[in-house]
Amino acid sequence: MGRCQRLTALRALAALDLTDLTDNCTPEAVSRLIARARTRHGEVAAICVWPRFVARASAALHGSGVRIASVINFPFGEESIDRAVLVTIEALRDGASEIDLVVPYKALARGDEKIVFDMILAVRRAIPFGSSLKTILETGELNNAALIQRAAELAIEAGANFLKTSTGKTPVSATPEAARILLETIKASGARVGFKASGGIRTLADAELYLALADEILGAGWAAPETFRFGASGLLDALLAVLDEGL
């Protein structure tokens, strides 16, 4: 295994949000996820779980460098701002430090920008300084370059810390085309906003593709865990296979 592949694998590992958002996820499955978050090659950036499992994850990973992310308004991007804020506050209370919010993308598709902006802003205001808001734009469902760009612009204007492609629950998840739009919108904004590719990212080649896009558009070294993430469940095995081979 080449040195470049190993370095890419290490870079991807450090940027990984290790995820279990299966509909039938159990406490035992979350415990297994937690156990995998700290590897012989380093820790993942975060684990991402349903709100009901945040307290368990937070207690188990206390004192580690692994952050706790949880999903809000997931996966359908519903339109109740009050509900989104309430669940956010509960997840933060239980120990989450990162919130992955599905924006009301169906509303945006029908031309209602206000509810998208208002929800992101309301959730952002509920999150304390030092914690992050990742906005899930569900780019595969928007399926229009101008609409994806507008979703990204609204999220940045409303105070999002990250633009995230997808829930991973729709037929089309992350794509290089959508990633390019989000990364170019971040660059054009001049804001310190990160990017998260999520859904269908399973191999080292997949990870390398998105890292290369970030390097091309925003410069080598920009894609660090503070500004770049992968949301995945299967990617860890692929990365460890590369890294273990180098031992």
d(CA 204, CA 122): 37
Which residue out of 17, 20, 196, 206 is catalytically annotated?
196
Q: Are 2 and 17 in contact (CB under 8 A)?
A: no
Peptide bond into 176 cis (omega under 30): no
pLDDT tens-digit map of 88-144: 999 999 999 999 999 999 999 999 999 999 999 999 999 999 999 999 999 999 989
What one-character DSSP code corresponds to residue 180? Answer: H
> Among this protein's residues, is 106 annotated catalytic?
no
d(CA 184, CA 119): 23
pLDDT tens-digit map of 151-188: 999 999 999 999 999 999 999 999 999 999 999 999 99
Which pLDDT score, from 0 to 100, does residue 2 have?
Answer: 83
Which residue out of 17, 20, 94, 100 is catalytically annotated?
100
